[in-house]
Structures are given as C-alpha cells and as structure tokens.
C-alpha cells in the first residue's frame, strides 16, 4: 500500500507587522539564517539556499516553486503551521492566499502551533509577545473559521473525506477533551464534516494512548525532538571534561561545572540517532512516523544553548526514510501518512530545499525512496 509523504512547511519567510515591531523592519526567517556563524570547528553554518534563492512567500511564484519542487521529489503534500490567538492570526498570508487563489494545486493540511508567541529566536522564552488563551467561545469561533475557510478546500488532505488537522501542544489546553467535543459537534452539526484529529508527539509533550482517549484519531511523531533523543550521547568536546570535573567532591566546583555545562550546546551524532530510530519498534497505537534531514537551531540562539545534530548527509537521511517507508504499515488505504520535518526550517538547519553544500541531494534522495516505496507496494492490499 502506497504511503503519502507529507513535509512540514514553515510560512515564516515574509515580513509582517508583528515581526517588524518585535524584531525590526523587514525581519523574516532569512534574517537569522544569513547572520549564523559556526560555533565550533567543522560546524556547518550558515545554511544558505541555492535553487530557491531567498524567496518571499507573499509571491505566488515562490509558493508555486515550493509545490513544484516537492511534487517532483515525490512528496504528496505540505503541512503548514497555523497560528491562531483568539481570532488573531500570524504569518497567515501565504496560506490565506493559497486558499483565495486556488494555487498552487498541491495538497496541504494545517498544524496549529498553539504555544505562546515568545522570543524563542533569541533564547528569551520568558518574554511572551502574544499569549495563547483558551475558552469555549474561542474553540467554537476557531473551528467555524477552519471548516468554512480551510477544510472545505478541495486540496485539503483527508482520510476518507475527513479533513486532517494536527495540534502541536495538547498539554497546554485546560481541557482538551472538551475542546475536541466542541469541535466535533460544530463540524458535524453546522458543516456536515467529520474531523480527523492528530496529536503531535515529541519529547516533552502528551503522548501515547492517553491522547487518543481524549478524542484524537491518531498521533504524529515529531522529529528530531522525539522521545528517541534521550539515550544518545552528546559529543561536544568539553562534555567529557565537564563530566570529570563534576566528580570533584567540592560543592563550589560542581556548581561552577553545572553552570558551565548548562551554557554549552547539546550536540548529537545524526548517524547514531538515525541508527537508533531505525531499530526502535513503532508504538502499538495509531501513530504516524516522521523523519528529519537534520537539526541545528543555533541561528535562532544568540547564546550557546542550542541543539545541534552533526554529520547529517543525504544518504543517512535516505536510510532513515527508506527504512520508515518499509517498516510502517498503513492502517487503511487513506491512513498512510509518513511525515518529514521539515521542508524549509532553514534557521533550524532542517530543510529539504537545496543549499550550497548539498544542492538538491536531499530532494533527489527523497525521490528515490518514494520511487522504491511505490515499486515495493505494487499489488499490495
């Protein structure tokens, strides 16, 4: 049975008023990307685009370019982040113009990034710029807007007619079951829609069967910030030194070392992580796997507290994707999703779009994996 490969897409690559106010006139994701510098010897930064250029997602040509490139690489559709704060939206223009224009003719779905909007990009997590609040009235207004403006689009990704919608942080809701009940009632009674809802799972999120019993249809793995990360070894050159120093039986020394280590980046071997993930069994509940071409959010961190995977290559990524496609058995003809995080997270070193180091190699490897999957599933039920 053929899989539908969906790439997560960040619609941040265009200026908008809030970014102008918070970060300076003309700020986009490219601002952080272009100012990035290596943090240690051999550190691959900055990641700079080639074929796509520094695109602006306000332009229909840029959105069409992304869709064409994804389709040529075997990707079925995009999962765009959606930002809703009690009726106020952020970076909504690309998706709204896709809805209004009908172009590009490429499948898509939404994932509600429902965290507070804070100064994550400079490490200032405590400074909230827009707070996320929840209420019954907002639940109803939100689902009405989605059903009317988004889920009714013919390009929207579905499972047997049911629009697929993901939520990034269900643990932030005061009562997620009540929200889901409200959503399903409004969608059914007012729009004749049956929703297909996904919980996004990562290291610090609500996960497992507990999410499904609250009303979700399935869970979505979110790589590489996944439950798999915990057992891996950091490789920063100072780590072993810090570990040894921490054994010194002097409280003052241990405190100094602890402060020192807390400021170091968390660095992991991508190959070790891929091999570990490949060998992990999939959960015994309805759960969709995800793979990632890499990760390095140092461009978004002015200090050293960042997460970096070193040694990613298209071949290693292909090994992970090919293994996942082979191992994941769809739950039905339409419940066949495999996700890639991400299409264009340039400031997290996490993108399929071509860069100066690898060119189109990640896209070409994706195409080969999907082609192999298509051949292997011919004639299957």
- State pLDDT tens for residues 68-92: 999 999 999 999 999 999 999 999 9
Dig out the tokens for 173 from the structure.
């809701």
Average the pLDDT over each of 104-113, 162-171, 256-265, 285-294 and give the range with the smallest value.
256-265
The whole-model pTM stands at 0.91
Q: Give pLDDT, residue 166.
A: 98
Please state, in angstroms and rounded to a whole number, the distance separating the CA atoms of residues 220 and 223. Answer: 10
pLDDT > 50? residue 54: yes
Q: How many domains does the chain have?
A: 1
Q: Give pLDDT, residue 261.
A: 59
Please give the residue that has the higher pLDDT: either 226 or 8: 8
Q: Where are the alpha helices (DSSP H) in the chain?
A: 17-23, 29-35, 60-72, 93-101, 136-146, 176-191, 209-212, 239-245, 251-262, 270-278, 314-327, 361-377
CB 289 within 8 Å of CB 338? yes
The verdict on residue 150 lying in a domain is yes
Confidence of residue 234 (pLDDT cuts 50, 70, 90): low
pLDDT > 50? residue 244: no
Residue range 86-114: mean pLDDT, rounded: 97
Domain encompassing residue 325: 4-230+269-377
Cα dist. 103→3, 106, 122, 242 in Å? Answer: 24, 8, 34, 54
pLDDT one-digit tens code per residue, 120-133: 555 445 578 889 99
The verdict on residue 241 lying in a domain is no
pLDDT > 70? residue 18: yes
pLDDT one-digit tens code per residue, 310-322: 999 999 999 999 9
pLDDT one-digit tens code per residue, 247-284: 445 545 556 655 655 667 888 899 999 999 999 999 99
Give every CB contact of residue 174 below 8 A, 6+ residues apart in sequence: 134
Please state, in angstroms and rounded to a whole number, the distance separating the CA atoms of residues 88 and 105. Answer: 27
The verdict on residue 246 lying in a domain is no
The verdict on residue 263 lying in a domain is no
CATH classification of the domain holding 198: 3.20.20.80
- Average per-residue pLDDT in the chain? 89
Residue range 348-377: mean pLDDT, rounded: 94
CA nearest neighbour of 92 among 38, 18, 166: 18
The verdict on residue 209 lying in a domain is yes
The fraction of the chain above a pLDDT of 70, given in percent, is: 85
Confidence of residue 347 (pLDDT cuts 50, 70, 90): very high
The verdict on residue 239 lying in a domain is no
Q: Give pLDDT, residue 381.
A: 34
């Amino acid at each position: 049975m053929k899989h539908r490969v969906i790439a997560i897409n960040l619609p941040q690559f265009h200026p908008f008023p809030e970014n102008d106010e918070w970060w300076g006139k003309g700020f986009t994701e490219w601002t952080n990307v272009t100012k990035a510098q290596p943090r240690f010897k051999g550190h691959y930064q900055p990641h700079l685009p080639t074929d796509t250029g520094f695109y602006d997602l306000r332009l229909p040509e840029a959105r069409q370019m992304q869709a064409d490139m994804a389709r040529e690489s075997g990707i079925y559709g995009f999962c765009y982040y959606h930002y809703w704060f009690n009726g106020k939206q952020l970076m909504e223009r690309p998706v709204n113009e896709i809805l209004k224009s009908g172009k590009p003719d490429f499948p898509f779905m939404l994932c509600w990034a429902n965290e507070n909007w804070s100064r994550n990009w400079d490490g200032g997590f405590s400074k909230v710029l827009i707070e996320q609040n929840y209420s019954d009235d907002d639940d109803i207004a939100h689902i009405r807007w989605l059903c009317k403006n988004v889920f009714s689009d013919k390009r929207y990704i579905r499972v047997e007619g049911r629009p697929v919608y993901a939520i990034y942080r269900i643990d932030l809701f005061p009562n997620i079951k009540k929200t889901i009940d409200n959503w399903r009632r409004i969608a059914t009674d007012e729009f004749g829609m049956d929703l297909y809802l996904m919980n996004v799972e990562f290291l610090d999120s609500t996960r497992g069967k507990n999410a499904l019993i609250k009303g979700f249809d399935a869970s979505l793995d979110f790589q590489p910030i996944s439950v798999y990360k915990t057992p891996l070894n950091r490789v920063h050159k100072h780590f072993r030194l810090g570990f040894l120093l921490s054994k010194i039986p002097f409280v003052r020394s241990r405190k100094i070392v602890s402060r020192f280590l807390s400021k170091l980046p968390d660095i992991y071997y991508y190959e070790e992580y891929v091999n570990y993930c490949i060998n992990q069994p999939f959960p015994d509940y309805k759960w969709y796997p995800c793979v990632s071409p890499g990760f390095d959010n140092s461009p978004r961190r002015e200090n050293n507290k960042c997460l970096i995977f070193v040694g990613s290559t298209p071949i290693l990524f292909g090994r992970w994707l090919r293994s996942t496609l082979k191992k994941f058995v769809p739950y039905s003809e339409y419940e066949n999703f495999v996700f890639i995080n991400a299409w264009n997270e340039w400031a997290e070193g996490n993108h399929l779009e071509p860069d100066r180091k690898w060119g189109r190699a990640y896209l070409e490897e994706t195409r080969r994996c999907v082609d192999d999957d298509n051949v292997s599933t011919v004639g299957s039920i």
